[in-house]
Amino acid sequence: MRKLLVAFLVTLLTLAIFAQKLGGRLIIAMETEPVGLDPHLVTAFASHRVLENVYDGLLRYGENLQLIPNIAEEFQVVDPYTIVFKIREDVKFHDGTPLTVEDVLFSFERILNPDTKSPAAAFYQDVESIKAIGDNKIEFKLKKPMASALLPNFAGVNSSIVSKKFVESGKNLQLETNGTGPFYLAEYVQGNYIVLKKSPHYFVKDQPYLDEIKIVFMPEEVSRVSALRNGDVDIAKINEPLNVRQFPEGRFKIYRSPVLSYYLIGINTTRKPFDDPRVRNALNYAINREAIIKTVAFGEGVVTGPLSPMVQPWALLPKDFDEYTYNPAKAKQLLAQAGYPNGFEFEIVTSQRYNFDKVAQVIQAQLAEVGVRAKINLVEWGIFIKRWRESDFDAFISMNSGSIEPDIQFYRTFHSKGSTNVFRYSNPRVDELLELGRSTVDTTKRKEIYDELQRLLVKESPIIFLYSANQIFVSNASVEGFKLLPNESLIFLRETYKK
């Protein structure tokens, strides 16, 4: 009897705790508003953060950035050329219409239609065919053996599944939405706020926890800080690390996570003296990455290798590379071996965006200690992009976006024919590893391939990898369940609640 009573009380307590999660309204202060609402067209970061809570893809990201089923309840890489997705049977759009295999086929046909001009079309350029298998499966056949490398694209906003009926009715998806996500768009006052409300049709039981999310647009950080401190909003995006000090623990919660994007020094490997890998590698030893983080990011960042330390199991950690040890004596030794015992002079092209200029100034001072004289050329953004595209630089300071998939991050950047290989870097073994990585299905073998690749990239250093900054949000103490992901997604708003 006592055991039954205890079990009953535990059940009541569990139900009471869970009941606290249900309902309520959350107000979030963000700095920018969406630029369009069509998931197949938008490129703006602010649009993605809203639409990822309105639409679903075949896959989505888990808490550790692992790919997990979403609209597809199962998926299988049959071979390097073939992926098969099994579609859930209990999914409905916000208007109550059941989602079918036809909607999935239509969505990818729309993405690949040149008239749509979807940025996601580039993800699927090597898809040979897409077809339905029965009533609940979709098969993707590829022209190249790269099935595993393609998978993360199915979790992106630009690969969301839309309603065929809704689109063909003539609706303008840039202004109206009809997704299958946990929230639907209830109100949008441009320049002011967006209201998302709980979808009664969401296929995950008991989610989302909140009844409503209101996203208010506050471009000025001082306004977001003030609104949060005054209790006008529940949670806010904070960009300036020093502002975190205005939120005492107890009254507020601080959320921080390194992002996948990373700061770097890009090097033109065809210009002297950078055509010698020893010279490029000397910069690795001459740069104190922790000092850059402390000075520029006020400690809000982590040292990164070729892949963010957050990308597991793929990433080798910075501690795995001797080159990441601050060692000016080793830098001088390498320079002397390369024929530059007294250092050399070169130009760093950069701009004022994202603190690039501040990173350049710290690096300039650090390189001077080993006799390398860096001249900073601060240019306006349009000129920076032009010189980047034309490889018109000795070196530059910039930032690259990251990915959970090594092929996506490395192939276009380091393959001798890569679309963003502005470094003019060419290494036959690197090309070979990149081709093997995208065509290999076995995870253990892929891990070995990308381990070797990362070691080669650090040794040869066409890029000097520096650090990833932290993203920061602050909430009041009543907010529970909010999580940040390194890809800066806010999909866990579906599990957020207020106690």
Q: What is the pLDDT of residue 208?
A: 97
Mapped onto helix, strand or coil, the DSSP state of residue 94 is coil
Q: What is the pLDDT of residue 438?
A: 87
Q: What is the pLDDT of residue 9?
A: 53
CA distance 339 to 329: 15
Amino acid, res. 165: K
Q: Which residues of 89-110 are buried (b: 16+ CB within 10 A; e: fewer)?
A: eebbbbeebebbbebbbbbbeb
Fold of 262-470: Dipeptide-binding Protein; domain 3 (3.10.105)
Domain 54-169: CATH superfamily, name plus number: Dipeptide-binding Protein; Domain 1 (3.90.76.10)
User: What is the structure's pLDDT at 51?
Assistant: 97
C-alpha distances out from residue 357 to 441, 462, 480, Å: 42, 20, 38
User: What CA–CA distance (Å, rounded) separates 34 from 51?
Assistant: 9
The helices-and-strands tally (H runs, E runs) of the chain is: 14, 21
Q: Where are the domains of the chain?
A: 54-169, 262-470
Which secondary structure element, helix H or strand E, spans residue 468, and what is its range? Answer: strand 467-476
Tokens of 493: 């708003």
Tell me if 54-169 shares its fold with 262-470. no
Tens of pLDDT, residue by residue, the chain (499 residues) = 565 555 555 555 544 455 556 889 999 999 999 989 999 999 888 899 999 999 999 999 998 889 999 999 999 999 999 999 999 999 999 999 999 999 999 999 999 999 999 988 888 989 999 999 999 999 999 998 888 889 999 999 999 999 999 999 999 999 999 999 999 999 999 999 999 999 999 999 999 999 999 999 999 999 999 999 999 999 999 998 999 999 998 999 999 998 999 999 999 999 999 999 999 999 999 999 999 999 999 999 999 999 999 888 999 999 999 999 999 999 999 999 999 999 999 999 999 888 899 999 999 999 999 999 999 999 998 899 899 989 999 999 998 888 889 998 999 899 999 888 999 999 999 999 999 998 888 889 999 999 999 999 999 999 999 999 999 999 999 999 999 999 999 999 999 999 8
Are 411 and 438 in contact, with CB atoms under 8 Å apart?
Answer: yes
DSSP 57: -
Give the separation between CA 39 and CA 48, rounded to whole angstroms.
8
Report whether 397 contacts 350 (CB < 8 A). yes
Can you give the pLDDT at residue 72? 97
In whole angstroms, give the CA distance from residue 112 to residue 28: 35
CA–CA gap between residue 434 and residue 362 (Å, rounded): 33
